C-alpha cells in the first residue's frame, strides 16, 4: 500500500471521543486548521485501532474517559505498535490518568468553556498538531550537529568539565514528561544535586504529574513552594501557574514564585528560572532543555552560558518537537546536543558533587 507523505496531504488526524456531539465539535475545529486533514471520528477503542492499522494516521485527538474504556489503553497500544503517531489528549479536567498520559508522551489540551470555546479549542489543537510540520524540516537539517550517545561536541568553546554544582535547571514542553522521567530514572541513586524543573502544562495537572514522577522514578520529587529551601537529592517542579525563580538567603538557595506576566505565552516559563539561576549560581549549575514547542529557554540559556554554566539540549531525532532545543542552538547558547536518554549521563559527567551550604559559607 502506498502512503502519501504528510507534506503532500497535511497531517492526517483521527478523532477518538465517545460523545457524538463533541466529535462534531472537534471535526469543525480541525477542519478549519490549514495543514490538517480529518480522516474520521470514532467512539470506541476497537474502531480506533482498526482505523489506525490502515497506516495513514499521523495524529489522533483522544478522550481519556470513554464509555467503559480508558484512552490510556489506546495510548499504551500506540506506543508499542505505532510510536510515531502523535497523540493529543483533549481533557475536561485534572486527573491522574491525564498525568499518566503525559508520561506516555501525549500532548494535552484542556476542553475550553464559554462563548468562544470552539475558537479556543481550534487554536490549542492547531498549536499541538501542526508543530511537527513546522519543525520537521529543521529536525532533518540538524543531523550534521547531532551527537552520538554520550557527550556531544562543544558548540563554540571547550567542552564543559566536571565541577561541583548547586543545582540542575531544566526546561521542557511538548513531549517532555517521558524524557524527564527517563532522566530521573537514569541519574545515579547517589546523585545529590537538587533539580528544578519547568514543564509547560496546565496547572491543574502538575500535582498529579509530580506524584507520578516520584512513584515511577523512585526519587524525591516535590511541587515547588514559595520560600522553601532547596534540599539535596530532591527534584522540584514549578507549578501554581507562577514563574519560579531561585534566590539566595543566608547562603542557602531558596525558591521564589512570581505572578508576573506570562513569557512565551507560558507561566511558569523556562526563561525566568534560567535567568535567576544564572544570576544566583553562576557557573555552579547545569542548564538542560528537552523537547518542546517554541523558543522558551533560549535567552535563559544565553544567560547561563554568559555566567559560565554549561547547557545541554535534547537532539532533534529524539525530540517530539525540536523547537526549544533548536532555538537554544540557533542562539549559540549550547555546549552539547545529545539524545534524550543521554541527558542524565551528560549531567552526571559535568557534576562532581553538590556544593553544600557549609562549603558555600566558607567560600
User: Hey, which residues are catalytic here?
Assistant: 173, 200, 296
Going by the DSSP 8-state scheme, the letter that residue 319 receives in this structure is -
**Phi and psi angles of residue 227, each rounded to the nearest 5 degrees, phi first:** 85, -5
Give the span between the Cα atoms of 5 and 16, in whole angstroms. Answer: 22
For helices 270-281 and 298-306, give the axis angle rounded to 10 degrees: 10
Buried b (16+ CB within 10 A) or exposed e, 126-157: bbbbbbbbebbebbeebeeebbeeebbeebee
Let me know: does 74 contact 105? Beta carbons within 8 Å: no
CA angle 287/289/291 to nearest 5° reads 170
Give the span between the Cα atoms of 183 and 242, in whole angstroms. Answer: 24
Classify residue 219 as exposed, middle or buried by CB count within 10 Å of its CB (0-12, 13-18, 19+).
middle
Going by the DSSP 8-state scheme, the letter that residue 142 receives in this structure is T
User: To which residue does cell 474517559 refer?
Assistant: 65
Give the span between the Cα atoms of 181 and 190, in whole angstroms. Answer: 17
If DSSP codes are grouped into helix, strand and coil, which group holds residue 251? coil
Helices (H), 12-89: 20-31, 45-52, 71-81
Let me know: does 340 contact 291? Beta carbons within 8 Å: yes
Paired strand residues for 235: 195, 221
| CA-closest candidate to residue 165, choices 344, 303, 310 | 310
Amino acid at each position: 500500500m502506498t502512503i502519501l507523505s504528510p507534506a503532500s496531504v497535511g497531517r492526517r488526524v483521527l478523532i477518538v471521543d465517545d460523545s457524538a456531539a463533541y466529535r462534531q465539535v472537534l471535526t469543525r475545529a480541525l477542519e478549519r486548521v490549514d495543514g490538517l486533514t480529518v480522516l474520521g471520528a470514532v467512539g470506541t477503542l476497537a474502531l480506533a485501532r482498526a482505523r489506525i492499522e490502515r497506516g495513514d494516521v499521523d495524529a489522533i485527538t483522544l478522550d481519556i474517559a470513554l464509555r467503559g474504556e480508558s484512552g490510556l489503553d489506546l495510548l499504551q497500544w500506540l506506543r508499542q505498535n505505532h510510536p510515531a503517531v502523535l497523540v493529543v489528549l483533549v481533557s475536561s479536567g485534572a486527573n491522574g490518568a491525564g498525568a499518566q498520559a503525559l508520561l506516555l508522551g501525549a500532548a494535552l489540551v484542556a476542553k475550553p468553556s464559554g462563548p468562544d470555546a470552539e475558537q479556543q479549542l481550534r487554536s490549542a489543537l492547531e498549536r499541538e498538531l501542526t508543530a511537527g510540520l513546522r519543525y520537521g524540516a529543521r529536525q532533518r537539517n540538524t543531523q550534521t550537529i547531532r551527537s552520538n550517545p554520550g557527550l556531544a561536541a562543544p558548540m563554540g568553546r571547550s567542552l564543559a568539565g566536571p565541577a561541583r554544582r548547586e543545582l540542575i535547571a531544566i526546561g521542557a514542553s511538548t513531549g517532555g514528561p517521558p524524557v524527564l522521567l527517563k532522566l530521573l530514572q537514569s541519574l545515579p541513586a547517589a546523585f545529590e544535586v537538587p533539580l528544578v524543573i519547568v514543564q509547560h502544562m496546565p496547572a491543574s495537572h502538575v500535582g498529579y504529574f509530580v506524584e507520578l514522577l516520584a512513584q515511577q522514578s523512585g526519587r524525591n520529587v516535590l511541587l515547588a513552594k514559595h520560600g522553601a529551601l532547596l534540599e539535596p537529592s530532591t527534584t522540584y517542579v514549578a507549578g501554581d501557574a507562577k514563574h519560579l525563580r531561585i534566590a539566595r538567603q543566608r547562603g542557602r538557595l531558596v525558591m521564589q514564585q512570581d505572578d508576573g506576566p506570562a513569557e512565551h505565552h507560558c507561566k511558569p516559563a523556562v526563561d525566568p528560572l534560567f535567568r535567576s539561576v544564572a544570576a544566583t549560581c553562576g557557573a555552579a549549575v547545569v542548564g538542560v532543555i528537552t523537547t518542546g514547542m517554541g523558543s522558551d529557554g533560549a535567552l535563559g540559556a544565553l544567560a547561563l552560558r554568559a555566567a559560565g554554566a554549561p547547557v545541554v539540549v535534547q537532539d532533534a531525532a529524539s525530540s517530539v518537537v525540536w523547537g526549544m532545543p533548536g532555538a537554544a542552538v540557533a542562539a549559540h547558547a549550547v555546549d552539547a546536543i545529545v539524545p534524550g536518554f543521554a541527558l542524565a549521563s551528560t549531567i552526571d559527567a559535568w557534576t562532581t558533587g553538590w556544593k553544600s551550604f557549609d562549603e558555600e559559607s566558607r567560600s
